[in-house]
Structure 1
């Protein structure tokens, strides 16, 4: 059986939550539910590490502005994970070359990461925090559901992942104005903090010329 649909699905999911993908695939392989999972993903140290990182992301991803910082840090990590998982799946299945699988997994992860990061910027333009929690929870459940489906019905899961990816890109185009507003607000906050730090603090009771060098 071709591993191409599993590579595509894992790439899309890696762009949303790379640690969840590695954790789920590793658990499916370790429990014997799938023969498509490489042994390297099933190693205990890998599962423990990604499990801890998944918990960290589960918290950071639900805090306004912190989630955008987390996304910025993972701009390289998520596509690299998608490429790595794709290459390993191809090496396990043998129906697709490692290089092709790495390109598919990495590029798909990069596209879905752009959708996620851009959507979060737009959501953070709203003052209330509940939308971040709802969106993050929906993303986690979506990744878990699609990756699980990919183990048993890879082509169906790949079709769903494709629809979600292209829908997300379309929505992102409509959110460009909100993203620009978010970036302007963040730049303004940085400028305000920089200005506040540059203003010397006058000691109470000191004469006006005391601040001068």
Structure 2
């Protein structure tokens, strides 16, 4: 990114969408990684995005780093990860909504309301897909699948954040892919639940 005023509206929307969707997976990691990138100068921002500078505050980064570290370990222990997800059912959507809100132009109240709602909705959707998928994986007795999925989420979050900051023109595409992935996961889990409960009801009826 060459300058602080080079971001267009589509790039800003793309970054806001990507951040809110990724916050549904790893809110603390998104905050910490963004603050770190800003403090090291890797994420120059347009003037009206200066409110995001709060993420580079040492105290904010410290709390986010602690949360990211706690989540890193909690997310790799079967069922503890589901308990962690349950606790963060409200935290992640609110965090995603606030991140999205901070990115858009404060001079446009309508756009800010839209960003808050869509950011929170996107984070809730991706959180729901992640939490449901991890709960389904936890039904397997072996821990390898859980650890592999958690590690993949860690790597994907860091990699995609770096990508949208380094190539903001592609951020909207990343947001659309993440949205499609979240929707697809929720639909797949819904079908899985219908199949499982359908079999149980059929088995009970035949007894």
Considering the TM-score relative to the shorter chain, is it more than 0.5?
yes
Residue segments in structure 1 that go unaligned for 5+ positions in a row:
183-213
Q: CA deviation at 1:173?
A: 2.5
The alignment status of 1:77 with 2:91, answered yes or no, reads: yes
Deviations 1:146-183 (A, max 9, x none): 1111112224233133223323432333334655869x
Q: What is the TM-score with the length of structure 1 in the denominator?
A: 0.78
> Hey, what does 1:144 align to over in structure 2?
158
Q: What is the TM-score with the length of structure 2 in the denominator?
A: 0.80
Q: How many residues align?
A: 182
> Hey, what does 1:51 align to over in structure 2?
65
Quote the Cα distance in structure 2 between the aligned partners of 1:70 and 1:137.
Answer: 16
Check whether the contact 2:16–2:99 (CA below 8 A) recurs between aligned residues.
yes
> Hey, what does 1:4 align to over in structure 2?
13
- Which of 125, 135, 149 is 1:121 aligned to? 135
Deviations 1:114-170 (A, max 9, x none): 110010111011111111100000001111111111112224233133223323432
- CA, structure 1 residues 148+173, in 2 after alignment: closer, same or farther (shift >3 Å)? same
Quote the Cα distance in structure 2 between the aligned partners of 1:156 and 1:96.
Answer: 25
- CA, structure 1 residues 130+140, in 2 after alignment: closer, same or farther (shift >3 Å)? same
Deviations 1:65-101 (A, max 9, x none): 0000000000000000001111111247979832222
Cα RMSD after superposing both structures: 2.4
Quote the Cα distance in structure 2 between the aligned partners of 1:47 and 1:67.
Answer: 23
Larger relative contact order (CA 8 Å, sep ≥ 6):
2
Greater mean deviation of Cα atoms: 162-171 or 141-150: 162-171
- CA, structure 1 residues 18+32, in 2 after alignment: closer, same or farther (shift >3 Å)? same
Paired residues for 1:94-105 under 5 Å: 97-105=111-119
